[in-house]
Structure 1
Amino acid sequence: MEEGRANVACNPLRGASSQPQSPVAQKIQGTVVWFNVLAGYGFIKRQDSGIDVFVHRQAIVKPNPRHLQRSLGDAESVEFNLFGTPKGPEARDVTGPDGAAVQGSAHARQRLTAWGHQARDPGSSGQMNFVVEMCIATAKAFCGDDKRALCILLPKIL
């Protein structure tokens, strides 16, 4: 019977996790074992004991600001509070090390600019490409489908 109970505690497919009953430990360091962006859950391996702890996307309090969805990257170092629930231990208040924002999964959708491009860091090596793309997007916004007007306006902008 104890073995069946363990399966219930670790099976995230049995429904949404219950509200935490009591905090067990705070500021625990761990590493993400895996996180499914579409399903919104995964597991974190505690650094101190090596036990896997369930984590839900709602538990991430400092998500990556460049991602639309809260997520965790595989093998990412995180810090979290541990709560006891009827289904087993659960990570809450998940952040990066020292309370920083998490990196997030490479599979999470990126935030887009108003022009439909991925947001880029202006200080990166792609700064010139970013400026050129924004000029082209601005010219297309003014000219629409008129290619002749676009050919006249684009050289003036650049």
Structure 2
Amino acid sequence: MAKRPLPSARPLDSFDREILRIVQQDNKTPQRMIAEAVHLSAAAVQRRIAAMEQAGVIRRNVALVDPDALAVSVTAIVEVFLRDERTASIDRAKALFRATPEVQQCYYTTGGTSFVLVILTQDMRSYEALTRSLFSDHEWVASFRTLVALDRVKADTSIVIP
């Protein structure tokens, strides 16, 4: 998903930043409660949230689901090494990883590793099948290395807002 720049006419101010801190913790917080916390009217909070959604600051409103509740027991951090760093190879990999629901996060990286993925699957058998379709079936993938998480110590989506 491409990042959209903020409109230059309205950069984020301290009210916007405080609103973001609140909605990052719980986006179902009633706007009247946000308004009380940031000392604005509920209508002003509503307008600011709408403006931040329009500008792409707030990209989506989602529910964070506990993987254990759905018996999704394998979290794998995977380093992917491409055969080459040509644009076509990178673009193919990005498209494939974006289109794969089990790939929760994908980072195009420097330092020898082409991509780092966070993958969630139900079990190791599912993970093995996924690795075949993601890596073994594509000639542009040189190799991959898997780190299996033993425990999900912290999995958060909040961004520290300066």
TM-score (norm 2): 0.28
Q: Which structure would you say has the larger Rg?
A: 1
Q: Which has the higher contact order (CA 8 A, sep 6+)?
A: 2
Greater percentage in helix: 2
Greater percentage in strand: 1
TM-score (norm 1): 0.28
